[in-house]
Amino acid sequence: MEQITRQQVAEIVNKQREYFKKGETLDVNFRIKQLNKLKQMVVNNEARMIEALKADLGRHLVEAYFCDVGSVVLEINETLKGLRRWARPKTLFSGLHCAPSIITKVYRMPFGNTLIMSPFNFPFLLALGPLIPAIAGGNTAVIKASHKSANCTALLKELISETFAEEYITVIDGDHDVADYCLEERFDKIFYTGSPRVAVHVMEMAAKNLTPVTLELGGENGNWCIVRKDADIKDAARKIAFFKACNSGQICINLNHVAVAREVADEFIRELKKAFERTVGVDPVNSDEYPKLISPEAYDKCAAEADEFRSRIVYGGFGNKEKQKYAPTIIYPVNTDESLVNHELFCPIIPIIPFDDDKVDEIIDVMASKEHGLALYIFTRNKKWANKIFRTQQYGGGCYNEVILFLMVKGAPFNGTGRSGMGTYHGKFGFEEFSHPSTVLYGLRHFNLNMREHPYEGKTYKYKLLKFFER
């Protein structure tokens, strides 16, 4: 199939710009109707979406629904429930210094034409997830979907075109050149999910038009997980094994490496091995339940990382290139200054960093010296210590004695900080990210005071009144 051209992209954006000017998307009832159409699209095509996820990523039915399909339905339902309330203008008291014009309203207005750039690892969740607040905010949307997850992108393109008019919402397929075609156009808002390296390019392109950008990125140095000696080791190992096997580690909020108290490191590794075998079996690369890496290139990169540290592999270390599956692989011990723990792995390799529990603050200092992660996971019975870390460190979000689920909490924001992202979304936070607050003061034609008007000389009461009112 021929790739879309720069001119065709420009035509789509122009159509959406003209459509937005008609004002149809400003009506909250219209937005609710579109969200219901989107929900029905997902519900009616659940089986096809799961089939596409199986083809691209080797996902099992349960994992596909939990991570991609069900999460979208959950997000739509939350938005439908709250949208009328969120979109309602907020009335404020202007203040005595504005008297007699004491009423001000804050309206949530759409940005206009938006661009959503989604990745391969959650091809439905990370395309439709941002689309939900884009619709709720009253915008149009172009979705630039990943060419790597070809089956999911083809299905997404088909379903969106059947559900919505092209001048309102459309999906564009293609490689990096097509992404640049999109970035060359003047959008009013850009939402990008992916790597920090590409995010820099996105921001540079957006800056030419002063377009506001939301970035959802993986941590530059990876996300930390800390297991202290007082943790429930079996529980921690079980949850970490599930998480690292999920989508074969291709998750932006997945733990990149685990810092384990030296006193319990051997026990933790034993339990982690058992947990992996319970989760994906002793031969995961031939298991229908274990997902695959997205491409032969991703497989080769994972295998090369493992081979570099082969002498320290204590579990796994093998794969099936034909099936693009690499076994969960534990590497121990690893130091904090080694390359393996200083970039995002995005694969099922788990480096284990031992530390002395009474020197845990040194590990925290190392973590703090790195780029901010998108997620932080802490396993310990010492909740007071964990709370101190959560309150004092910089990261996107996290869990105490749990993994991943903070992403799915209703009413809570999600995203990173620094090199792991900017802006937030989900629920009300997503609606606010895709709309801007417009403040309007309602003036009165009568009873206006002249305290702010010239002349000032000899009118000392004006100064005194202003000092009294502006407090």
Tell me: pLDDT of 49 over 90: yes
With residue 440 as reference, give the H or E element that holds it: strand 435-442
- CB-based contact 326:301 (threshold 8 Å): no
Q: What is the torsion angle, in degrees rounded to the nearest 10, for the CA atoms of residue 121, residue 407, residue 41 and residue 17?
A: -80
Which residue in the block uniquely carries the two structure tokens 């959802």?
A: 216
Give the model's pLDDT for residue 220.
84
State pLDDT tens for residues 7-35: 999 999 999 999 999 999 999 999 999 99
Is 220 marked active-site? Answer: no
Is 252 marked active-site? Answer: yes
State pLDDT tens for residues 377-427: 999 999 999 999 999 999 999 999 999 999 999 999 999 999 999 999 999
For every residue of 223-285, DSSP letters joined together read EEEEE-TTS-HHHHHHHHHHHHHGGGG--TTSEEEEEEEGGGHHHHHHHHHHHHHHHH-S-GG
Domains of the chain: residue spans and CATH? 6-217 (3.40.605.10), 223-415 (3.40.309.10)
Let me know if 4 is exposed, middle or buried by CB neighbors in 10 A (0-12, 13-18, 19+): middle
Taking residues 57-84, what's their average pLDDT?
97
Taking residues 182-206, what's their average pLDDT?
97
Catalytic residue among 63, 75, 185, 216: 216
Tell me: pLDDT of 376 over 90: yes
Higher pLDDT, 174 or 446: 174
For every residue of 100-155, DSSP letters joined together read T--EEEEEEEE-SEEEEE--SSSTTHHHHHHHHHHHHTT-EEEEE--SSSHHHHHH
| Residue 181 pLDDT level (bands cut at 50, 70, 90) | very high
Q: Which residues pair with 257 in a beta bridge?
A: 224
How do strand 349-355 and strand 329-331 relate by DSSP bridges? parallel
Tell me: pLDDT of 347 over 70: yes
- CB-based contact 443:434 (threshold 8 Å): no
**Range of weakest confidence among 206-210, 218-222, 306-310, 446-450:** 446-450
Which residue in the block uniquely carries the two structure tokens 């607040």?
A: 133
Give the model's pLDDT for residue 97.
84
Give the model's pLDDT for residue 446.
86
Give the model's pLDDT for residue 445.
87
- Longest CA span, the chain: 90
Tell me: pLDDT of 219 over 80: no
Nearest Cα to Cα of residue 423 among 255, 202, 244 = 202
- Coil, strand or helix at 172: strand
Give the burial string for 374-390 (b: 16+ CB within 10 Å, else e): bbbbbbbeeeebbeebb
* Region for 164 from its dihedrals, namely left if φ exceeds 0, alpha if ψ lies in -120 to 50, beta otherwise: beta
Tell me: pLDDT of 449 over 90: no
How do strand 223-227 and strand 373-379 relate by DSSP bridges? parallel
Cis before 333? omega within 30: yes
Taking residues 284-309, what's their average pLDDT?
97
- CB-based contact 155:69 (threshold 8 Å): no
| Distance from C-alpha of 346 to C-alpha of 344, rounded to nearest angstrom | 6
Tell me: pLDDT of 450 over 90: no
> C-alpha angle with apex 242: 121 to 428, nearest 5 degrees?
55
Taking residues 70-96, what's their average pLDDT?
96
Share of the chain above pLDDT 90, in %: 91
Tell me: pLDDT of 471 over 90: no
| Distance from C-alpha of 284 to C-alpha of 465, rounded to nearest angstrom | 77
| Residue 1 pLDDT level (bands cut at 50, 70, 90) | low
> What residues have CB less than 8 Å from 72, skipping those under 6 apart?
42, 124, 125, 128, 129, 132
- DSSP label at 185? S
Q: Which residues pair with 76 in a beta bridge?
A: none
Give the model's pLDDT for residue 197.
93
Catalytic residue among 152, 182, 252, 302: 252
* pTM to 2 decimal places: 0.96
What is the residue type of 401? Answer: N
Taking residues 168-177, what's their average pLDDT?
96
With residue 184 as reference, give the H or E element that holds it: helix 176-184
Q: Which residues pair with 437 in a beta bridge?
A: 108
